[in-house]
A = this chain, B = another copy of it.
């Protein structure tokens, strides 16, 4: 089940948030791409639909969406300022191409065992994890070989 801009709009309402055209513009941008985008890039694109939107509002909307778990932050070894739509609603992780920055999701997550073990060893109460894989996508791999 894919999260469309409209579905998210509904979720926003349910949660008591107003559905402003600005928010909708950001939602459309997020839903329209499969790549991670920086706040700045989202701003640029949202302005196409709504030239009067402010960068600040983009930040605020992203914060809101992230709080509601509708978009997620993408981390990378050199920083972590990308956002993207949380496409599968369920738990998943990202595989990021070091070449073209394409992000692929994978649901595979065999960490429960690991978490239990680490939890036993450290007496931590483990509440979550961040897992991302890095590599080269088929295309970039080909290019790299040339």
> A119 to chain B: which residues have CB within 8 Å?
135
Across the interface, name the chain B residue whose C-beta is closest to A121.
B106
> A75 to chain B: which residues have CB within 8 Å?
75, 80, 130
Across the interface, name the chain B residue whose C-beta is closest to A132.
B130
Q: How far is the CA of A95 from the CA of B79 in the complex (A)?
A: 19
> A137 to chain B: which residues have CB within 8 Å?
122-124
A16 CB-CB contact with B under 8 Å: no
Across the interface, name the chain B residue whose C-beta is closest to A93.
B118
B-contact 0/1 string along A19-43, CB 8 Å cutoff: 0000000000000000000000000
Contact of A117 with B124 at beta-carbon distance under 8 Å, contacts A75-B75, A129-B131, A130-B130 already known: no
Interface residues in A65-92 (C-beta closer than 8 Å to B): 73, 75, 77, 79-80
Interface residues in A42-80 (C-beta closer than 8 Å to B): 73, 75, 77, 79-80
Q: Are A122 and B134 within 8 A (Cβ)? A: no
Q: Are B128 and A135 within 8 A (Cβ)? A: yes
Q: How far is the CA of A121 from the CA of B77 in the complex (A)?
A: 23
Across the interface, name the chain B residue whose C-beta is closest to A135.
B126
Residues of A within 8 A of B (CB): 73, 75, 77, 79-80, 95, 97-98, 104, 106, 108-110, 113-115, 117-119, 121-138, 141
